[in-house]
Amino acid sequence: LKDLEAVFSLLQQHRLITKGSKCEFLKQELEFLGHVISINGVKIDPKKIANRQDWKPPANLRELQIFMGFVSYVRRFIPDMAGVTSPLTDLLKKGKFYEWGGEQQAAFEQLNLFLTTSPALRIADPHPPFELITDASDLAVGTLLLQDFGEGLQPIAYESRKLNPAEQTYPVHDKELLAIVHAFKVWCWYVTGADVTARTDHKLLQFIRAQPALNPRQIRWLDYLESKFYYRVTYKRGVSNIADALTRPSVHTATVLITQANPLLTGLFTHGYTTDPWFKR
């Protein structure tokens, strides 16, 4: 009730009026703009993803645009959004012929899996420190925002994006620094004024402030970070860095097993490459 009193006081102070028919009180959870909000966090509204596993792949560009519009709206729930959707976003490029193949189908199924199994994300609290776990690959940067609410680090949101052609030519340490800068830009309303630890698997970034020679790009990025945020950079080994999964494709067990193929399997693959149209591609 104290929270309600505080909200009503602010509304009165700023002369704002609420409509009674659109207000709900003393609820355990609320549906709001495609999300369900509760004390446990925020999750995608189950009604929005009901029967999603039965959805058919987009048959044309318009259907793909609609699907990608929804996916973009809930991107904070999807790890490696940029990497997973890459085969689909390539079809949206101007002048690109719409051809739905194996890569697109795999991306579509993986997105549906994320949408139907995504856990609730915690609601950020301005008081506990934040942690950013970042990583970069040749094609994308990814980051995860977390906080510790007394029960271990909990995810607040995921974020990733593809690198443009110029960024793909950056040296590794610049890509890793870009991942940190991107995280602060995306979540600036969370982390401005807060105590933030950025964890990276690129060890040299711990000491980048002390490096005597920086290139203009690094100087510009560090100037942005230093002027706006209270942060520190620490090293976290790649094998234990959660954000590695946000930018790097996983190696599936089935793939590993196939590399141990017996002669019978080898013969089947050889036959497939010569007769099956999917193998020929």
Cα dihedral 274, 277, 278, 281 sign:
positive
pLDDT-derived band of residue 51, with 50, 70 and 90 as boundaries? low
**Are 138 and 230 in the same domain?**
yes
Q: Report yes or no: 68 and 84 within 8 Å, Cβ to Cβ.
A: no
φ/ψ bin of 30: left (φ > 0), alpha (ψ from -120 to 50), beta (otherwise): beta
Residue 112 shares a structural domain with residue 151: no
CA atoms of 142 and 34, how far apart (whole Å)? 24
Domain count, the chain: 2
Same domain for 135 and 81, yes or no, is no
Sequence-ordered strand ranges (E) for 163-222? 195-200
pLDDT digits (tens, 9 = 90+) for 1-43: 788 899 999 999 999 998 888 888 888 888 888 889 988 889 8
Q: Are residues 144 and 234 in the same domain?
A: yes
Residue 180 forms part of a structural domain = yes
Q: Do 150 and 240 belong together in one domain?
A: yes
Q: Do 109 and 67 share a structural domain? A: yes
- 83 plus 139 within the same structural domain: no
Residues 53, 162, single domain; the answer is: no
* 93 found inside a domain: yes
Q: Give residues with Cβ within 8 angstroms of 274, minimum separation 6.
A: none
Residue 179 belongs to a domain = yes
Q: State which of 96, 117, 138 marks the end of a domain.
A: 117
Q: Residue 213 falls within a domain, yes or no? A: yes
Same domain assignment for residues 107 and 137: no
Instruction: Give the strands of the sheet with 41-44, arranged side by side.
Output: 29-32, 35-38, 41-44
Q: What is the CATH number of the domain that holds 153?
A: 3.30.420.10
Would 1 be classed as within a structural domain?
no
Q: Where are the beta strands (DSSP E) in the chain?
A: 29-32, 35-38, 41-44, 130-136, 140-148, 153-162, 195-200, 230-235
Kindly state whether residue 28 falls inside one of the protein's structural domains. no
Q: Does residue 264 form part of some domain?
A: no
Kindly state whether residues 105 and 70 are assigned to the same domain. Answer: yes
Q: Residue 281: pLDDT above 70?
A: no
213 lies in the same domain as 144: yes
Q: Would you tell me how many other CB atoms lie within 10 Å of the CB of residue 38?
A: 13
Quick one: pLDDT band at residue 129, thresholds 50, 70, 90? very high
Region 173-180: what's the mean pLDDT? 94
| Tens digits of residue pLDDT in 57-96 | 999 999 999 999 988 888 888 888 888 888 999 999 888 8
The answer to the question of residue 265 being in a domain is no
Q: Are residues 204 and 137 in the same domain?
A: yes
Distance of alpha carbon 145 from alpha carbon 208, whole angstroms: 22
Residue 252, pLDDT above cutoff 60: no
pTM: 0.72
The whole domain housing 59 covers 46-117
